[in-house]
Amino acid sequence: MRRLAALFERLDATRSTRAKTEALVEYFRGAPPADAAWGVYVLMGRRMKRCVGAAALRQWLTEESALPAWLVEETYASVGDLAETVALLLADRTAAPAESVPLAEWFEWRLQPLAALPASEQRALVTGWWRELPYLECLLATKLLTGALRVGVSRSLVTRALADCLDVERVGVERALMGEWTPSAAFFESLARPAAVAHPDQPYPFHLASPLEGAPDALGARERWIAEWKWDGIRAQVVRRAGSIAIWSRGEESVAERFPEIVAAAAALPQGTVLDGEVLAWDGRGVLPFASLQRRIGRKAPGAKIQRDIPVRYLAYDLLEADGADLRARPLAERRARLESLVREATAVAGGPGAGGWSAIDVSPVLPCGSWGDLAAAREQARVRGVEGLMLKDAESVYRAGRQRGAWWKWKLDPLTFDGVLLYAAPGHGRRSNLYTDYTFGVWRDDALVPVAKAYSGLTDAEIRDLDRWIRAHTREKFGVVRSVEPLQVFELAYEGIAASTRHKSGVALRFPRILRWRTDKPAREADTLAALRAVLEAPRG
C-alpha cells in the first residue's frame, strides 16, 4: 500500500506526461508482481463493489473521532470527499506508521472478504485500519473501500508504461488488458508474453473518434471519406470464437445476457469473427430513443415482455477479425467490404430478416452523398432519424487503440438548447468542495417553476466564484448541503436528447445537460416553458 501511496503522490504532483510515465514505470519495476497486478487494476479505473455503505462509514468516523455528528457532517460537506474527511479528521489519532501491508494482501485478505462479515466485525476492522495508517494510506484505503479511487492517468498512459517496463509491444499489452482478467502475480508476469494472456472471448481495444469542430471540406476530397450515421446506442464488440458468443461494451462490461436476440443472431456468424458496432433499441420506424435502450441495459435477464416492447438490433460498422485472423491493420474500405459480405451470408444462414423485416445483426449503411454539401444536407436530417449526426472515417485508416486524431471524426449535430432558471445549488467535490457548483434548473409550467435538469459544467472559474457569492446572498432555504435560491438567474443550457420520464416531476428527462452561458440579459419570466420542451419530445421521428 505504501508504494501505491507514493505513486499516487507523484502522479498528483505533476501534469507532465513524461514524469507520469516515468513514475509508473518505476512503480511497475519496483513492486512485487502481485502488487503490480493490483496496481494495474486500480490505475486502469477498475473497481470492486462497495463493501460498506457511506452512512455506516460516516457513523464510524463520528464515533472514532469523538466529534459531534453535526461537525463531522459539516466537515464532510466542506471537504466534499468522504475518504479525505476520514483521513483529515483522524490524522492526529493514527499510531506510528506500521509496516506496510502489500497491496495484494489489502485486496485479497482485507477488502474482498469484508462484505461477508457482520457490521460489528466490519467496524472493528475498518476503524483499526484507520488507526494504523498514516494520512495518505488512510485516504487510499478508504477510497478503495468505497470504490471511489480515481488516479489522474489515462488508460493509454498505463499501457505505455507497462510496455516500456516489460519491453514488449504496446498493442499486445492493450489487448491483454481488455475484457475480464484477475489480478495476480502470474497475470502480471504473463503481460511480458501478451499472446499467453488471450482468452477466447477477449475483445480488442476500441478505436475512438475525435469531434469535428470545423467544416468537413477541410478534410480534403469527399471520396476519401466513408460517411455513416452516428448512432445513439451502446458501442460494443460481438465476439464469436471457440463455440462461444460474447458482447463487450466499450466500458469492458460483458453484456451478452442483456441482449439475447443479438446473441441468437450471432450464432450464424462464422467462428473467429469479431464485429465492432452499435447496440440500438429498434422498432418498425427505426431507432428508438436512448432512454428506451436504458430500460434494457438495466435488466441482466430481460423477460419476453420487455423484449417485445423494446426490441434491440446490432448495426456493425467494422470487421476486426475474420476466420480467426486479425484484420485491424487492413484499410477500412477493405474491412467494410468483407463485413458486408460476411453479414449478408450470416443473414442467409439464419433464414433471412426477422418478422419485423430487419435482422438483429446488420451493417450500418454508408451514406452515398457525393459532395460535402450533400452530406451536410443529410446531417440536417439526423435528429428526425433519432441519430446524433455523422461519422466520417478515412477509407484507408487502420484500426488502432484509443483516440486517433485524424482517422475518424464525429460530426455531431448542434445540441438542443433551452433557457432555465436556477432553483437549487449544492457544493462541488474535491477542489471545488467549498464552492456551489452543482445546479438545478427549472422551466415554467403555468405560473410555477418545475425542475427539469441538473448541470455541473460550462461556467468559467470566475463565473463560478461570482455565482457562488450570489447564491450565498440569495438563499431562501437550506436542505442539508443544498440551498434553494431566489428564482432570478437565467442560464442557457444545451442537451443532446429528451425522453418521457415517470421518475421526474416534470415528466421529462434531458440527456447530457450542460451550461452554455449565463443569461444576465434575460429576466426569469422569459425563461422557457415545459410545454416547449414537450414539443421537442413529441416531434415526429422516422
Any idea which residues carry the catalytic annotation? 230
Q: Which of 99, 260, 248 is nearest to 179 (CA)?
A: 248
Cα 144 vs. chain centroid, distance in angstroms?
19
Which residue carries 438542443 as its cell? 416
Coil, strand, or helix at residue 437?
A: strand
- Angle formed at CA 111 by CA 107 and CA 114, multiple of 5 degrees: 150
Q: Give me the amino acid identity at 453.
A: A
Per-residue CA distances from 295 to 59, 243, 280, 380, 423 (Å) = 35, 29, 12, 28, 29
The answer to whether the CB of 483 falls within 8 A of the CB of 402 is: no
Q: Characterize the bridge pairing of strands 225-230 and 416-427.
A: unpaired
Grid look-up 463487450 returns 248
- CA nearest 291: which of 531, 532, 504? 504
- Half-sphere exposure of residue 403: CA atoms within 13 angstroms, side-chain side: 9
Contact 476, 487 (CB under 8 A): no
Q: Are 193 and 54 in contact (CB under 8 A)?
A: no
CB 269 within 8 A of CB 350: no
Helix, strand, coil abundance in the chain, percent, nearest 5? 40, 25, 35
Residue tagged 441482466 (cell numbers): 300
Report yes or no: 444 and 529 within 8 Å, Cβ to Cβ.
yes
Nearest CA to 308 out of 343, 290, 334, 282 is that of 282
C-alpha cell, 529 = 416553458
Place of cell 459480405: 341
Q: SS3 of 273, please? A: strand
Distance CA 56, CA 119 (A): 9
What is the amino acid identity at position 8? F
